[in-house]
Amino acid sequence: MEARDGEAALREIATLRPDLAILDIRMPKLSGLQVVRGMHKLNLSTDVIFSDPLYDDEETFNEAMSLGIMGYVSKESALDDVRSRHRRSDQG
């Protein structure tokens, strides 16, 4: 599923309750961080990976980590990275 903006992403996550959501940090209407905060308010347990690099901005990185995101993947290799991380989490 692909959402056109952060509000739509939060709405879809609340409705579908997926195990994992891959979000951009920078989205229209709500940022990825705002979506994760909204998920917390709704007590949603979906794991989140951001598809933007977090290391560019230390404040954003620290906030994302404090919100409990699993990490980030580059947009160019997102699918391969997610498959690899998922396999590693299943093994241990």
Average pLDDT, the chain: 85
Q: SS3 of 22, please?
A: strand
Please report the pLDDT score of residue 73 as a whole number.
78
Residues 9-43 pLDDT 10s: 999 999 999 999 999 988 999 999 999 999 999 99
Rounded distance between C-alpha atoms, residue 22 and residue 2, angstroms: 9
Please report the pLDDT score of residue 80 as a whole number.
67
Distances (CA, A) of 38 to 6, 31, 43, 53: 10, 11, 9, 21
Residue with the larger pLDDT of the pair 75 and 28? 28
Distances (CA, A) of 2 to 12, 40, 59, 67, 83: 9, 20, 27, 22, 18
Q: How confident is the model at residue 87 (pLDDT cuts 50, 70, 90)?
A: low
